[in-house]
């Protein structure tokens, strides 16, 4: 795997006054084939960064990026605007879901333009990133299909936490940490090693309140989901955010196809599950079928 870190200037796409950068890493296969390159554009969830897709604090068997590049695909991971190493515009409430989606679409377009071959793009969003990949697909070109992992259009269940309480406790604006320990039962299947959980939590990012508020509002991207005409894959683990995974299909009313995959022996963070390779293989097969 050949990895290249970059900082992408998305100021013009956001319309913000200050210079705005999105941190990204492009992971390429060691052996690049001729013809169309399949690129996976991956958005992490709330409280995370692009490390979710290539956790340098864990052994390489946990690397989504390593697995997919070993199977001939490229992987572009970004820190969502306002998170990780990407810019944190001030005041935070100058951000919106639409501005952040525009920044991500521009970052993707810049990287695709640099690749010297045809590219097919699969947009993937985990958790809050699922909300954002839906928003991006509905309003911007550049994606050929999307996979929505661990995001619920149904009213979400967040383990032992109460969604209404979480929403009421959010400040008006700012970049805030997520209380991760109370989320462990939702995030990790019981067989995930405690040392890995603690390392994952130690690498947490703050999250823009803008996205936190949106993610906790039922129906926030229902309209956007209904506009998507691309192939859609929905992935929910046995322990996850949707109370009725089968009902998730109905929200993508105009999609050219919709599939649902359920991952056994896994919780919300599929990349840390002992069954992660099954998840990656099923996702890879779906990309190949719809390419």
Copy the structure tokens of residue 142: 């550049």
Q: In angstroms, rounded to a whole number, what is the distance separating the alpha carbons of residues 205 and 268?
A: 17
173 phi and psi, to 5 degrees? -160, 165
Q: Measuring CA to CA, how many Å separate 107 from each of 7, 95, 252, 257? A: 9, 17, 25, 27
| Dist CA 32 CA 263 (whole Å) | 30
Q: Give the model's pLDDT for residue 42.
A: 98
Q: What single-letter DSSP state applies at residue 158?
A: B
Q: How many residues does the chain have?
A: 291
Q: Distance (Å, rounded) from C-alpha 165 to C-alpha 50?
A: 28
**DSSP code of 161?**
B
Q: Are the CB atoms for 200 and 55 separated by under 8 Å?
A: yes
Per residue in 119-165, pLDDT tens?
999 999 999 999 999 999 999 999 999 999 999 999 988 877 777 77
Q: What is the pTM of this model?
A: 0.96
Cα torsion angle, 254, 255, 257, 259, sign: negative
* Radius of gyration in angstroms for the set of CA atoms belonging to the chain, rounded to a whole number: 17
- H/E stretch holding 77 reads strand 74-78
> What gap in Å lies between CA 128 and CA 88, rounded to an integer?
17
- pLDDT tens-place string over residues 6-54: 999 999 999 999 999 999 999 999 988 778 899 999 999 999 999 999 9
Average pLDDT over residues 214-232: 96
């Amino acid at each position: 795997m050949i990895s290249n870190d970059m900082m992408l200037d998305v100021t013009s796409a956001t319309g913000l006054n200050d210079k705005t950068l999105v941190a990204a890493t492009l992971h390429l296969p060691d052996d690049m084939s001729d013809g169309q390159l399949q690129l996976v554009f991956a958005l992490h969830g709330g409280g995370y960064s692009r490390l979710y897709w290539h956790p340098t604090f864990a052994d390489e068997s946990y690397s989504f990026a390593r697995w997919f590049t070993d199977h001939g695909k490229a992987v572009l991971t970004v820190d969502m605007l306002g998170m990780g190493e990407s810019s944190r515009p001030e005041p935070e409430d100058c951000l919106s879901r639409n501005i952040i989606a525009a920044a991500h679409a521009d970052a993707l377009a810049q990287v695709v333009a640099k690749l010297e071959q045809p590219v097919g793009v699969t947009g993937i969003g985990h958790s809050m990133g699922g909300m954002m990949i839906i928003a991006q697909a509905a309003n911007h070109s550049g994606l050929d299909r999307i996979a929505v992992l661990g995001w619920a259009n149904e009213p979400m269940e967040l383990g032992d936490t109460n969604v209404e309480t979480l929403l009421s406790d959010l400040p008006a604006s700012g970049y805030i940490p997520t209380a991760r320990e109370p989320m462990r039962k939702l995030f990790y299947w019981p067989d995930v090693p405690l040392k890995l959980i603690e390392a994952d939590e130690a690498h947490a990012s703050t999250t823009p309140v803008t996205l936190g508020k949106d993610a906790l509002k039922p129906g926030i991207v229902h309209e956007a989901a209904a506009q998507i005409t691309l192939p859609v894959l929905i992935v929910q683990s046995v322990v996850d955010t949707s109370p009725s995974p089968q009902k998730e299909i109905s929200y993508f009313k105009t999609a050219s196809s919709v599939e649902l995959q359920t991952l056994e022996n896994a919780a919300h963070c599929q990349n840390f599950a002992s069954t992660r390779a099954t998840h990656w293989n099923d996702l890879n097969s779906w990309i190949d079928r719809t390419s």
